[in-house]
Amino acid sequence: MILYLLRRLVLLAFVFIALSILAFSLGYLFPGEPWQNFSGLRSASSEQLAQLTTLYRLDQGYIAQYLAYLTRIFSGDWGLSFASQQPLLQEMLTLLPATLELAAYALFISFFIGIPIGIIAAVKPDGVLSKLISAIAVTGYSIPVFWWALLLIMLFSLGLGWLPTAGRIGVLYEVNHVTGFMLLDILLSDSHHQQEALINALRHLLLPTLVLATFPTTVMIRFTRDSMLDVWEQSYIKTARAKGLNRGQVLYRHGLRNALLPVIRQIGLQFSTLITLAMITEVIFSWPGIGRWLIDSIYQRNYPAIQAGLLVISTLVISVNMLTEILHTLFNPLARKR
Amino acid sequence: MNLPWITTANTRYLTRLWLLSAASVLSACQPQLPETVRSGLVYCSEGSPESFNPQLVTSGTTIDAISQQLYDRLLDIAPGSGELLPGLALSWQVSDDGLVYQFTLRPDVQFHHTEYFTPSRPLSADDVVFTFNRIMLTEHPFHAQGGANYPFFQSVDWAGLVKSVTAPSRTQVRFTLSRPDSSFLSNLATDFAAILSAEYGQQLQASGNLSRLDSHPIGTGPFRFREYQKDVLIRYYRHRHYWRELAKPEQLVFDIVPNNARRMAKLFTHECDVVAFPRVAELSLISQRPDVDVQESTSMNVGFWAFNTAKAPFNNVKVRQALALAINREAILQAVYFGHATAANSVLPPTSWAYNPNLSAQQFDPIRARQLLTEAGYADGFSMDIWAMPVQRLYNPNALKMAELMQADLAQIGVRASIVSYEWNSFRRKLGANEHDSVLIGWSADNADPDNFFRPLLSCSAAQTGTNRANWCDENFDRFIAQALLTADQKQRRSYYMAAQQYLSEQMPLLPIAHSQRFQAINSTIKGIQINPYGGIALANATKDIK
């Protein structure tokens, strides 16, 4: 098992190196001078320029420059954003929790709604309920997320006036940034409007989460259903029943555990799709997360931000992928042997 | 394949559980109005401010967001009559030769207490001297901050006009001018002439954080600064020691929503209490809703088409007149302003006291236009660019559409026009460098003085600072407006301005198109917001009428 973990970590390191090389080379591939793209300064005095040249080792070869770049990345000096002239790392650290919060709730929903519904759909695969669930799942799977989001806004915000259209919380609520996770921050704040703020934040959360959860939930439903049906054909289920275990025991010990194994793996694979969808959701709901920030940066030709955002998001996706892979292996002795 | 041990009863139970949990979340969505929402006001604005110091900017977006909320001026303008009222100055005297203005300051005016500054004394003459010296003295520690650019003050030639600003006593300020200028008091009442704190300046100097003067503002206005997140929001709280009646809202938030449709959506969902610049095309739709009111007021502004008079063929007055004759303004008023504007005959709106009522209305006459072009030697027409500004402004809600209409009109007289547009900041930079042939743009007044329409727009000094979009420098015209400033007698000033307007309509450096009304959509529970015809919006008296 340790060997397996080591192998994974080495792989992760290589992937990160490849990513950082890509991000580094973007500094050259983007328009403008490399020192601009690395530092985020638009203009510099001759002294500043000399300083930057030494710092970035621009007078040396590409490998030395790349190593200097890596050192800066690890020491937290990511340069400034063209748009705001604020340190990029700090800016991203304040934005990332908003995206993670949204993605986490969406994943949570997809888990706790998708899996039970998937199981229900597997109960009578030819029944009306199962057909209905499959139909809804296919619709949810194929509906474009931006259109779905606009439909929900039209209905719940503009039509019924129940839910707000944008943001994480009503602008009149001032919540101090502690962890960056809105609900947690509200609970940590000592304002006497805490409960109001919490309700307000939940109302803001509802539509984006619903929109973002749609795709992974339908994937979960389909996957759980198929996997459940698949496991049910296995001979060990019949053996378990023949041994005299009752229905619940077989379902829990033999059925679910085996059926859900591939589902865990699915989370990792869905995560990159989830982040992509989160970007679109963030743009539509003006959610101040890293996805919207990255898209804005692309519009504004904010090269240092694009570079840094790319590195952070891809590292995140790959780490989550790796983590679920490891979890999958942990639960599945068969995979470890391979 | 069946899973027989999950019974239908179980399924039903599960379904009920989900429905319950869904219902409990939705129950939180019933409209209710918590304390925070009742005591705060949300203004949805169309863009981020460039700075928090009005001295440094001219953009309406920035002025709306900062000027009236954070600062006070020595004088105020009465919104109805345009009369000057005492502000931070209780009274003022003008010397007989019109060169010395002495102001007596209001006592016990407090600056904002914030996390980053605690004032130790009330407003004094030092603050006023500090504020205005920043603009004119190059040795002032803050002068070079932000590039030493004071666009409004440069356009009225402040540094050339004001010789010195001194403080004879703690409550007295004396301005000494180098020549009489009858628009001087009006300029002091504009949103740009906000009074800053000298004590705060000293504190920043001591800590070496000079740039914070313009990013973390301290003023005497009805609200104090709390936070600003670029492209997201600006948060203000009530200034508890305000010298006038305290602001009604406890909290004021500017929610920055550049997208028009999204701003309207937020109004309909009551996320915004006030929405800046609703689209004119949507006004009839908005006014049908019972929960939204549309406010309208005549505003001192003009939308125009300026020719780059330094470039051929626009340096030929006949060509300019021909182009002006070729434009069907009636169609533009309908299609671009949707009838919510009056056709302009002069740059000055008819509500101004100096307006010249004898000007003949601009005609639409393509045949005469063709003749003029032939006389000017362009019988076959020519090619030109029309620059259309990329943003929506009060004086021109849709410059691109206007340019398209004009393109068709110009084709009638053989002029081939192409439409050019850039992103707003580059657009203004390129305009400042006079790279354009002609441009569709406009002007909103900062004060009631007619000079505000002439000098910043068409004078030679404006041509030098790059705000004269016609790039027009004409001695005769400059003489008219300079003479008007030298006299304080309104009748005499008026005659000079009448002559200046007559001269403009003959020379046609720009074609005035329309004076438009200013609109604002507000939630119908909000009362007490007045649209100020001379600049920024004031929100201190807004109340929510909610039980």
User: What pLDDT digit, counting tens, does each position of A37-49 carry?
Assistant: 788 777 777 887 8
* B546 band by pLDDT with thresholds 50, 70 and 90: low
Is the minimum CB–CB distance between A335 and chain B shorter than 8 Å?
A: no
Q: Does B14 touch chain A (CB under 8 A)?
A: yes
| A204 Cα to chain B: minimum distance (Å) | 10
pLDDT at B74 over 80: yes
CB contact under 8 A, B4 and A199: no
pLDDT of residue B236: 93
Q: Where are the alpha helices (DSSP H) in B338-397?
A: 366-375
Structure tokens at B355: 């307006």
Strands of B341-390 (E only): list them.
341-343, 383-388
> For residue A200, with 0-12 CB atoms within 10 Å meaning exposed, 13-18 middle and 19 or more buried, which class applies?
buried
Q: How far apart are the first and last CA of chain A?
A: 11
Q: Two tokens at B279?
A: 């689209």
Cross-strand bridge partners of residue B102: B93, B174
Question: What ipTM did this prediction achieve?
Answer: 0.77
Given this model, what pLDDT does residue B1 score? 39
Selection from B495, B546, B504, B541 nearest residue B524 by Cα: B546
Which pLDDT score is estimated for A54? 80
- Report B:251-280 residues touching A (Cβ under 8 A): 251, 253, 255, 257, 262, 265-266, 268-271
Is residue B241 within 8 A of residue A132, CB to CB? The reply is no
Domain A90-337 fold = MetI-like fold (1.10.3720)
Give me the amino acid identity at B154: Q
pLDDT at A169: 84
The reported pLDDT for the residue numbered B17 is 46
Tokens of B153: 């003050």
The one-character DSSP state at B280 is G
Q: Got the DSSP string for A112-180?
A: HHHHHHHHHHHHSTTSHHHHHHHHHHHHHHHS-HHHHHHHHIIIIIIIS--S-SSSSS-TT-----SSS
Q: What is the pLDDT of residue B5?
A: 41
Q: Of B103 and A336, which is predicted with more confidence? A: B103
Average pLDDT, chain B: 85
- At residue B14, the pLDDT reads 45
Mean pLDDT of B463-487: 87
Give chain A positions within 8 Å (CB) of B37: 170, 172
Tokens standing for residue B75: 């004088």
Instruction: Read off the pLDDT of each residue in B249-278 and give the average, rounded to a whole number.
Output: 87
- The CA distances from residue A164 to A148, A262, B60, in Å, are 16, 37, 28
Would you list the DSSP string of A45-73?
-HHHHHHHHHHHTTTS-HHHHHHHHHHHH
B320: pLDDT confidence band, cut at 50, 70 and 90?
very high
- Residue B5 has its nearest CB partner, among A193, A202, A247, at A247
pTM exceeds cut of 0.80: no
Q: Give the pLDDT score at A337.
A: 60
Q: Where are the domains of chain B?
A: 301-517
Of A227-231, B111-115, B222-226, B492-496, the least confident: A227-231
- Residue B10 pLDDT > 60, yes or no? no
Minimal-distance CA residue of chain B relative to A228: B3
State residue A30's pLDDT score: 81
Who has greater pLDDT, A250 or B311?
A: B311
- Mean pLDDT of the B122-131 span: 92
Higher pLDDT, A296 or B410: B410
- Which region among A142-151, B22-31, B227-236, B376-385 has the lowest average model confidence (pLDDT)? B22-31
SS3 A271: helix
Instruction: Dig out the tokens for B212 from the structure.
Output: 């914070």
Residues in chain A: 338
What tens digit of pLDDT does each residue of B128-141 get?
999 999 988 888 88
DSSP H or E segment with residue A295? helix A290-299
What CATH number does domain B301-517 carry, 3.30.70.1150, 1.10.10.10, 3.30.2290.10, 3.10.105.10? 3.10.105.10
The band of B6, judged by pLDDT with boundaries at 50, 70 and 90, is very low
Reply yes or no on whether the pLDDT at B70 is more than 90: yes
Tens-digit pLDDT profile for residues B273-310: 998 878 777 787 888 888 888 887 777 889 999 999 99
Angstrom distance (rounded) from CA B235 to CA B228? 6
* Higher pLDDT, residue B195 or B159: B195
Q: Please name which of A271, A191, A258, A195 lies closest in space to residue A230, comparing C-alpha atoms.
A: A258
Domain residue limits, chain A: 2-75, 90-337
Cα(B183)–Cα(B193) distance, integer angstroms: 13
pLDDT in the model for residue B199: 93
Nearest CB to B29 within list A163, A171, A232: A163
Please check the confidence at residue B438 and state whether its pLDDT lies above 80.
yes
Q: Is the pLDDT of residue B217 over 90?
A: yes
Q: Which residues of chain A have pLDDT under 70?
A: 335-338
Cβ of B312 under 8 Å from any chain A Cβ? no
Confidence bin at B3 (pLDDT 50/70/90): very low
- Residues facing residue B418 across a β-bridge: B385
Does the structure show a pLDDT above 90 at B325?
Answer: yes
CA geometry: angle at A104 spanning A100 and A107, to 5°? 140
